[in-house]
Structure 1
Amino acid sequence: MSSQSRRGVRTASALGAASLGLVALSACEQPSPMVTATVGGDSVSTEAACYDDGKAIPQDEVRKCLGKKADETVSVSTGDKLRIGVDPKTADDGWLVLVDGKPALSEPLNKTYYSFQGEVFFQQSSASGQPSAPKKSVQVTVVQTSGGDFNGIWHLNLKNSKK
């Protein structure tokens, strides 16, 4: 066999191996969509605490996922706007925002991002309903929802950086 023939065989073998590698990679599970929180020029992104390619998460798993702690933190001061961005598929299904496990909005959002005033996350009331000292930090949970099911859960910490 000539050196050109051997080179052709090696090239064909390398191309075949690369093609098989791409096929194998395409069969791998895709990463979950990200949720991004932006304040001014600072952004943090987080992967889902629970996500199964947009399928409904079983109820017992939902409870576990809602109890998980956030890995990412963003600082927000009173006058800042917090922008939360989600994947287009999450926006199409609809998403909720929970603050320390309680709904922040009454209806699901269907936009890829939404802006909030920073101070709304840290306000709290005493047992008598009177305003009390603002919280120092909260956990914000974004929930992808569809037909009453939870399809994805993401967590972020917000730190009150009072200005």
Structure 2
Amino acid sequence: MTSMPRGGAADVTAAAVRRRRAVAAVGAVSAGLLVLSACDKPTPLATITVGRSSVSSEATCGGEGKTLQTAALTKCLQDKNVKSIKVDPDETVRFGVDPDIADKRWTILMNGQPLTEDSDKTYRTIPGSVFFNAQYGAQGNSTVVSIKAGNGKKSGTAVTGLWNFKFKKDD
């Protein structure tokens, strides 16, 4: 019978376990990096908050910093598959955008028409009644509101991203 110093077998087993754990950790990190490299970077988020409800969305069109062509912009403004939120006309509607959007200067559109001047702030508020007022171009009990990202130039005409939302009147 061979003899091993007392506790020697435990040392060999612990070393093997540490090696297996290290190999598993390296494999997991490598797999994670591989998966991440295959993914597209998400576009910045725009968030609408009314009272205690909110909805966030990535760009409906663009959002990666490239200028959108007029035809693509027109098609995007007509997209019906957008997130919606109920808006009480007596509530304040809060618009929040990621700093990436604010850096490009952004404008709020209602039914495709500018509702505000462009801004480089990350947050704006507008009374809910505006979105259902015929004076501002509203028709009926719903309206499409968009956040349009520019190219960073004040009063610039280029559009680099569009985030669309549908506002439904909540009485």
TM range (shorter): 0.7 to 0.9
SS of the aligned residue for 1:6 comes to: helix
Matched, 1:88 2:94: no
Measure how far apart 1:63 and its partner are: 2.5
The structure 1 residue matched to 2:141, chosen from 133, 136, 139, is 136
Q: Distance in 1 between matches of 2:128 and 2:158?
A: 28
Q: C-alpha offsets along residues 4-47 of structure 1, whole Å, 9 cap, x if unaligned?
A: 34323311211211221332244232211111111111111122
TM-score, normalising length: structure 1: 0.83
> What are the within-5 Å matches in structure 2 for residues 1-163 of structure 1?
2-27=12-37, 28-105=39-116, 107-125=117-135, 135-146=140-151, 147-162=156-171
Q: Distance in 2 between matches of 1:120 and 1:109?
A: 19
Measure how far apart 1:132 and its partner are: 10
Question: How has the CA–CA distance of structure 1 residues 144 and 132 changed in structure 2, closer, same or farther, with 3 Å as cutoff?
Answer: closer
CA contact (8 A) 1:122 1:160 kept: yes
Q: Distance in 2 between matches of 1:52 and 1:139?
A: 19
How many residue pairs match? The answer is: 155
For structure 2, the 5+ residue unaligned runs are 1-11
% same residue: 32
**Aligned letter for 1:154?**
W
Q: Distance in 2 between matches of 1:95 and 1:133?
A: 21
For structure 1, the 5+ residue unaligned runs are 126-130
The alignment's C-alpha RMSD in Å is: 2.4
Measure how far apart 1:98 and its partner are: 1.1
SS of the aligned residue for 1:149 comes to: coil
- Structure number having the greater helix percentage: 2
